[in-house]
Structure 1
C-alpha cells in the first residue's frame, strides 16, 4: 500500500509538471477546428503531447541521470549544445507564454491594464520565488493541481452530457497530422527531458532503494501521468468539437477555453478557472526558470552568480516576450519547435530502446539525418513556401512538415545493420 501510494504521488507530481499554459488552451481550440474529425485529431495530438513525453520519462527511468545523458552517445559537445538550445528555447517561449495566458484569461476580462504590466508583475514574483526557493511553491503545487483537475473534469463531464449543437465540419485537410503538429506546442516532449531529470534527482528515494525499484517507480508514475493527460486532452478536444458551432468564428485559443468554461460552469466557473490558470502558469514559469538556472549553475562550477544571472535573463525575457498575445508567441515558437522537436523525439526513442539497437553509431547517424531532414520544415516557417517547393515535393511527408520521419527510420535500420556487421563473429 505504501509503495502504491508513493507511485501515485509521483505520478501526480509528474502530471503537475507537464500541466501548464499550452496544456489548457490548445486542446479546446484544436477540437473547435477538428469538428466531426475530432477523434483523428486527438490521436495525432496524443502521439506528440502524451506518448512521446511519457517515453521521455521512461528514458529517464532507464538512465536515471540528467538531460545531458540523453545526447552524450552522439558526442559530449552535441549534448552540451543540445541542452543549451533546449533551455534557451524554454526560457524564451513557454515561460513567457505563461504570462501571456495569465493576462488574456485572468486579467484582461476583468481589468483594463496593459499586458506589459501583467508580465512585469508575473516575472517579478517569479524572480522572488526562484531566488528564495520558497516553500510556498510546494503548498501551491499540492492544492492547486487537484483543483485544476477537478474543475477541468467537471467542465468535461458537463460538456459530454450536454446536448450539443450540430458538430461542425472539420477545417483540417489532414486531421491526424494537424493534431500531431499542434502537440508540439505543448512543449511536453521538451518538458520530459528538461524537468524529468530534475524529478529523478529530487525524488525522495530511501537509501536502500535499488536502481530497478527506482526504475519501476518512475515508469509506473509516468503511465499514471500519461493517463491523466490523455483523459484531460481527449475530453477538452471532444468538448471543443462538441461546442464548435457555439464559439465565435474567429475566437482565439484562450477565448475558446473561456467560452467552454462559461458554457458548462457559468460565469462563476470561468472566474475560478481564470484564477487557477494564472496560478498554474505561475508555477510552470517558476519551474522552467529554476530548472534552466540550475543547469547553467551546474556547468559553471555551481556558481551562484551564474544562477542569479540566468534567473534575471529568464525573467527579463519573460517580461518582454510575455507582453505579446498568445497567438503571436505560438507563431514565433513554430520555427524553433520544427527545429528542436524532431531531434528531441529521436533522442527520447533511442534512449528507450534496448542497448543492442541503440549503439553510439546509431545515435550519431539517426540524429544527424533527422537534423538534416528537419531543416526544410524549419525554413518553411521563415521563408516563402514556394522557394522550398522542389525539396518539399522530393521528400516524403515534407508537405506535412514531417519530412524527417522516414529518413530517420531508414537511417536507424541502416545504422543497426552496419553495427551488426562491425561486430566480430
Structure 2
C-alpha cells in the first residue's frame, strides 16, 4: 500500500504486489455525486420548497426536522448497513426469514410499486404536460413513459458504471441547474416571509420530520450501497472491508450535499410563498417552484424547472432499477424452477413501472403513504439498534426480536386501516383507537410499542443470562 500522503491513490499493485485499497479524490467525488443522484429525485425536489412556502418564517425549525429524517436517517442507515456487512446481516439479527420478507417489501416499495413509477409520473407532469395541453393526456403520458423507461433500462444494464455516466455527467448538470435556480432567488426582491401555516404553525420540527418520510430515502439508503459498492469495485477496490469504508465515506458526503441543497430549496420555497401565497390543502412543491419561475421567466422558467425534474427523476429511476434488480437476482435467482437473471428482473421492474406510472401521480402518492408509515418505524428500529449493536447485541440481544415484533404488528395494523380508508372502507372503531393514542397528532404512536418491546427484550435477555 502506498503510504505517500501526497498520493491518495493506491494502485492495483504496489511494486507489483497487493490489491488496491482506496479511491483517488476524483473517483471518491464521482462516487459521492453518483450516490447523491440516486437519492435526489422528484420527492426531494418537491417537499423542501413546499416546506419553505408553508412554514415561512418557521422554516429553520421545520427544515431541521426535515433534514433529520430525510438526510440523517438515510445516512445512518448507510453506516449501519455497512457496519453489519449488508442489510440481510442487519435484519438477520431478528431472523433470516424476517430479513427476506422485510427486504422484499422495502425493495418493492422503493422500486416497481411506488418510487420507480413516481419518477416517470412526476417528471411527465412537470416537464411534458404543461407543454402539450392540446394533446390527449393519456397518449402523451404513455409515449413519454415508454421512452423514459426504455432509456433508464438501457443505462441500468451496467450498474457498476453508473459513476461514469450519472456521476460524471447527469448529476453535475443537475447540480448546476439547481444552483442557478437558487442564485436567482438570492437576487429576487420579495415581500416579508409569511407566517407558518397548516401543521407547521403548531409543531414545525415534528411536521418537518414526518414530511421527510415522503422522500423514501431511508428505505432506499439501505440498498443503494449495493450499487455503490459495485461501482467502487469497478474502480479496482476489491477488498470488502475497504469497500465498506468507501461506501460510508460516500454516504457522509452525500448527506452533506443533500442537507445543503434541501436548505437552499427551502429558501426558494420561502421566496415563492412570499410572492404567491399557496393553499396548503391543494398545492404541491411542484406548484411552488413553477409559481416562482413562471413569474420571473414566463414559459422559459416552467420549461427550466421541468428539465430539472426530468434529469433528477431519470437518475433516480436508473439507480432504483439497478438496485432492485441486483437485490432480486441475489435473493431469487430462480423462480418456479426458471433462472432469473439481472436483466430479466430489470425488464420486469421497468415494465411494472411503466404500467403503474400511467395510473397517475396522485394515485401513486395516496397509496404509498400508509405503506411508508408502516415500513419506516421498523426500519428506524433496525438502524438505531444496528448503530448500537455492540451494546445491544452483547447485553440485550432479544431486544431485536421483541421490539421489531411489537412495532411491526402495530404498524401493519395501522397500514391496513389506512389503506382500507383510501379504498373507501372505513373502520371507525380502529380509527378512533389509533387517534386516541399518545403522540397520535405527531404520527409517532409507534414509539409506544417500541418502548414496550425494548423493555420486554431487555428483561428476556436478562432472564436468559441468568439461566
Q: TM-score, normalised by structure 2?
A: 0.81
**Contact persistence 1:377–1:402 (CA under 8 A):** no
Distance 2:30 2:61 in 1: 32
- In structure 1, the residue matched to 2:20 is none
Q: Which runs of 5+ in 2 are unaligned?
A: 1-5, 9-22
Distance in 2 between residues matched to 1:185 and 1:55, nearest whole Å: 17
Contact 2:35/2:250 (<8 A) preserved: yes
Structure 1 partner of 2:107: 87
Matching residue of 1:14:
35
CA 1:395–1:93: 2 relative to 1, 3 Å: same
Q: For residue 216 of structure 2, what is the aligned residue in structure 1?
A: 187
Partners of 1:299 and 1:409 in 2: CA distance: 32
Give the number of aligned pairs: 423
CA–CA distance in structure 1, aligned partners of residues 198 and 161 of structure 2? 46
- Which of 1 and 2 has greater Rg? 2
Whether contact under 8 Å (2:272, 2:292) holds in the other structure is: yes
Write out aligned runs for 1:239-388 (5 A).
Answer: 239-247=268-276, 249=279, 250-262=282-294, 268=300, 270-301=302-333, 305-358=340-393, 360-378=397-415, 379-383=417-421, 384=426, 386-388=428-430
Cα gap change, 1:334 to 1:24, in 2 (>3 Å) = same
Once the two structures are superposed, the pairs formed by residues 9-408 of structure 1 within 5 Å of their partners are 9-65=30-86, 67-89=87-109, 90-112=111-133, 113=135, 114-131=140-157, 138-169=164-195, 170-172=197-199, 173-204=202-233, 211=241, 213-247=242-276, 249=279, 250-262=282-294, 268=300, 270-301=302-333, 305-358=340-393, 360-378=397-415, 379-383=417-421, 384=426, 386-408=428-450
SS of the aligned residue for 1:423 comes to helix
SS of residue in 1 equivalent to 2:131: coil
Shift of 1:267: 5.2
Q: Deviations over 1:141-194 (max 9, x none)?
A: 311212212222332243245332232232224332322222111110011112
Q: Is the Cα contact below 8 Å between 2:37 and 2:315 reproduced in 1?
A: no
> Does the Cα contact within 8 Å between 2:56 and 2:273 map onto a contact in 1?
yes
RMSD after superposition: 2.9
Instruction: Provide structure 1 residue ranges, at least 5 long, that are not aligned to the other structure.
Output: none
TM-score norm. by structure 1 comes to: 0.88
Q: Distance in 1 between matches of 2:311 and 2:458?
A: 47
C-alpha distance in structure 1 between counterparts of 2:378 and 2:221, whole Å = 13
1:339 is displaced (CA, Å) by 1.5
Q: Taking CA–CA contacts closer than 8 Å with sequence separation of 6 or more, which of the two structures ends up with the larger relative contact order?
A: 1
